[in-house]
Amino acid sequence: MKTASRGAWRFPIIPYGSGGILYGGCPFCGRPSESGAGAFQTACLDRARLQPTMPQRFSPKAPMKLIILDRDGVINQDRDDFVKSADEWVPLEGSMDAIAFLTQAGYTIAVATNQSGIGRGFFTMQQLNEMHAKMHKLVRQAGGEIDGIWFCPHTAAAECNCRKPKSGMVEDILARFNAKAADTYMAGDSLRDVQAAAGAGCRPVLVLSGKGRKTLAESSGELPPGTQVFDNLAAFAQYLMKQERQNAEDGHAACA
């Protein structure tokens, strides 16, 4: 079977009609296949064919671990006059490493960002693409991967469903990655980020970088129930790493 590798991910390219000859069990679930060693189980093949282009964790027993991040004020420095070019896109201290830690720990990272500067004519799609090329490059240099970027180009006047605090982008990301909302964290520095997260059923996280301190000072009473607060993305990533280690130790303890 051929595999394509993309950063930390390996996902199978389904060998249509080839029988997928390999050694051992089904490449998806690991159990013996009804059609011979190394072949996909019919159920797994059907599942894979439904989403042939999605990155699929090689172990189906591990649920998709997805984290959704706001961009400005979480990953990069925000500006009152909009981040308008790649030059103005400057990573926050520790954020590239934080994404790398999360990638290495098996998380899929998606970005959901309001970019009304497009709708207002402050910058172009070309410039937005250049910012994101820079973001991808710096994240990869740190050893991480951003698996998808969703942005809303509209102004409030468009009354679209994607502009946060609406949950359209978040719901689309969950669907595209086949992730469970209740297992998915979404981190942002504004009230509308945590509102969009909660609206989609995700776990809201407020980081105090960017506008975060202002958000906490002015809107603490409006934060959705269960919102977790961290100093910045690095602190949030460290918290998750600690949780992972704790879960692993609990797992081992349960075996003993």
The reply on whether position 160 binds Zn ion by CB under 5 A is: yes
| Active-site residue, 70 included | yes
The distance of closest approach from Cβ of residue 73 to Mg ion in the complex, given in angstroms and rounded to an integer, is 4
Q: CB-based burial of residue 187 (10 Å sphere; 0-12 exposed, 13-18 middle, 19+ buried)? A: buried
Q: Which of 27, 33, 48, 70 binds Mg ion (CB under 5 A)?
A: 70
In the complex, the smallest distance separating the C-beta of residue 88 from Mg ion, rounded to whole angstroms, is: 15
Among 103, 189, 212, 232, interactor with Mg ion by CB under 5 A: 189
**Binding-residue pattern over the window 118 to 157 for Zn ion, x denoting contact by CB under 5 A:** ----------------------------------x-x---
Angle CA(158)–CA(203)–CA(248) in degrees, nearest 5? 145
Catalytic hit among 46, 70, 80, 172: 70
Neighbouring residues of 228: CB distance < 8 A, sequence distance ≥ 6: 203, 204, 205, 206, 236, 239
The answer to the question of residue 196 lying near Zn ion (CB under 5 A) is no
CB closer to Mg ion, 71 vs 203: 71
Token pair 């990533």 is found at 237
Closest approach, Cβ 211 to Mg ion, in A, equals 6
**Contacted entry of Mg ion, Zn ion, none for residue 147, CB cut-off 5 to 8 Å set by kind:** none
Beta-strand pair 9-12/203-207? unpaired
In the sheet with 148-152, reading across from the earlier edge strand, the strands are: 148-152, 108-114, 66-69, 185-188, 203-207, 228-230
Structure-token pair, residue 102: 């999360």
The two three-digit tokens of residue 181, written as one number:
């909302």
Q: Which residues bind Mg ion (CB under 5 A)?
A: 70, 72-73, 189
Q: Please give the residue ranges that form the binding site for Zn ion (CB under 5 A).
A: 152, 154, 160, 162-163
Catalytic residues: 70, 72
